[in-house]
Structure 1
Amino acid sequence: MSTPVVFIHGLWIHSVSWQPWQELFASKGYEPLAPGWPGDGDTVALTRADPGAVAGPGVEDITEAYAKIVADLGEPPIVIGHSFGGLIAQKLLDRGLARAVVAISPAPIKGIRALPFSLLRSSFPVLSRPANKRGAVSLTEKQFRYSFGNALPAEESAQLYERLAIPGPGRPLFEASSANFTRDAPTTVDTSRGDRGPLLLIANGKDHTVPAVVVRGAHRLYEASSARTDLMTYQDRGHSAPFDHGWRQVADDTLTWLARR
């Protein structure tokens, strides 16, 4: 029986971004699926046409939606997530719902204290307006260029924006930004657990949205666990790493890690 692999996208990116990964993993004998967040349309165009549908869900709501999907699979899958999808993947691993997790530029879990300027600037389109906590927010092409495409040629960044960018709920960013001051914050993960599956954290050296120092901070938190936690860094990549022209290197390295673990 093929091992299921669940791909979880991050904020402002449609699940179609995982299509090349799904095709690659299927060719290697895995059974991939990439469901969207609550409210996402089946396509980028449909999601953009009804931004109100994605408004409201927070980290726990999104986690619960994926937990139900995972439960229907009949066995714990491998989970691969990007950005907030990487945070959700870690929460599923913490709950014992994933056999292994790969988190690419994962949004910060509670306990990470690094706040680089680029992270704050990338979050500003949402956090600058308190009303965004209950609404949906779309990035402009210029904002996308800074947050996702800064390590790419301008033309490729524009193409990715047109092909993949969607509105997203503001609430997860508010929850992540206040986590260290909130008891039982939705971004809380028990990093000391020793009875979980292996975890690979992937950092990108030119990432503005989740700078490498944030991912290294997560790796340090997991040092309290006896379970396997690995860290991989691509020094010249940005936040678009899993879906830009260099996606195949990240995917191949992920497959190699999974085979070893």
Structure 2
Amino acid sequence: MNHTPVVFIHGTWLHALSWESWAERFASRGFLAFTPGWPGEAAAVGESRTSAGAVAGIGLDVLTDHYAGIVRSFDTAPVIVGHSVGGLIAQRLLAADIGRAAVAIAPAPLNDIALPDASARLWTPDRADAEPLVTLSPRQFHRVFANTATAQESDRLFERYVVPAPRRLLDDLGHASAARKQHAVVDVANPDRGPLLLISGQEDLLVPDSATRAAYKQYGDSTAVTDLKQFADRAHSLVIDNGWRFVADYVLGWLDEYGLPSRHGWREVTPSGRRTSCPGRHAGRRGW
């Protein structure tokens, strides 16, 4: 039996260290957990804050190609788990048949999905500021990212995980005046891709639940497995705040349901036909 690899892709304003608890949890269940950073990302959060110039010019195309190369490098196709921008990349890779299954947690919007104005403004850098990196203050992080956490927890998360984001990447996402770039376009109709799980937090201000539900609906014509799980009272910080384990354990259960255990040989699984969190829609017909 081989171990199933899992590649975790972190999102904007977070360091790769943000997956530390997930990696430990998945490894304890027998998965091979990998948390590769962005191109040029420093190994430590502190260094990423003080010497972040290497990531300043990163756009969505570079980031997508970077993770495509990593996922393709495995002898056994891995599961891809992404948060925020990482969730968008995970969907794009899976749609291109790169990877065995994907989980997109509070994913940045794909295709023509528009964010509400209030959320779009949160993503949009101050155009009067020409700096190539966009930073969040502890207060901003608590207000827009970890809004369901206490101030004390938010400050702890900020100190451990938060780093500047490339302005170019935010522009590529096209949340405001900029057009969404090609690497934000996902083939939602591919019937042969692996299973996909979309996850949202219903108190998320950066990527509201409505945007994730809109993405789910775009997959409606595909016969491939697509599921949606909505977590009440959770914000964009749902992968790092004190409720992260509930999300991680749901993902582990979902992988097991579709025949993606930590040790594997290929086996066919008939999905249970369970309803997702979105009434009136069933999972697709294929599972691995």
Indicate whether the TM-score tops 0.5: yes
CA distance in 1, matches of 2:169, 2:138: 21
CA-to-partner distance for each residue in 1:1-56, whole Å, 9 max, x for gaps?
Answer: 10000000000101111111111111111100000111210010111121211111
CA distance in 2, matches of 1:164, 1:128: 26
Q: Which residue of 2 aligns with 1:98?
A: 99
Whether 1:229 aligns to 2:226 is yes
Once the 2 structures are TM-superposed, how far is the Cα of residue 137 of structure 1 from its aligned partner? 1.4
Q: Is the 8 A contact 1:127 1:173 kept in 2?
A: no
Q: Which residue of 2 aligns with 1:128?
A: 127
Distance 1:99 1:130, change over 3 A: farther
Q: Is the 8 A contact 2:197 2:227 kept in 1?
A: yes
* Number of equivalenced pairs: 257
Q: Which residue of 2 aligns with 1:197?
A: 194
Once the 2 structures are TM-superposed, how far is the Cα of residue 129 of structure 1 from its aligned partner? 4.2
Q: State the structure with more CA Rg.
A: 2
Whether 1:61 aligns to 2:62 is yes
TM-score, normalised to structure 1, is: 0.93
Q: Which residue of 2 aligns with 1:172?
A: 169
Distance 1:184 1:242, change over 3 A: closer
Once the two structures are superposed, the pairs formed by residues 110-259 of structure 1 within 5 Å of their partners are 110-113=111-114, 115-124=115-124, 126=125, 128-129=127-128, 131=130, 135-177=132-174, 182=179, 185-259=182-256
CA-to-partner distance for each residue in 1:103-153, whole Å, 9 max, x for gaps?
Answer: 10000011213x2243123213x2534745xx1211111211122111111
Whether 1:33 aligns to 2:17 is no
TM-score, normalised to structure 2, is: 0.85
Whether 1:5 aligns to 2:6 is yes
Q: How well do the aligned residues superpose, as a CA RMSD in angstroms?
A: 1.8
Bigger fraction of residues in helix: 1
CA distance in 2, matches of 1:122, 1:248: 27
Q: Is the 8 A contact 1:94 1:190 kept in 2?
A: yes
Q: Which residue of 2 aligns with 1:71?
A: 72
Which amino acid in structure 1 is aligned with residue 25 of structure 2?
A: L
Percent identical pairs in the alignment equals 44
Q: Is the 8 A contact 1:179 1:185 kept in 2?
A: no
CA distance in 2, matches of 1:217, 1:127: 27
Q: Is the 8 A contact 2:201 2:232 kept in 1?
A: yes
Distance 1:122 1:181, change over 3 A: closer
Q: Is the 8 A contact 2:171 2:178 kept in 1?
A: no
Which amino acid in structure 2 is aligned with residue 101 of structure 1?
A: A
CA distance in 1, matches of 2:185, 2:15: 25
Which amino acid in structure 1 is aligned with residue 58 of structure 2?
A: P
Residue aligned with 2:146, SS: coil
CA distance in 2, matches of 1:17, 1:154: 18
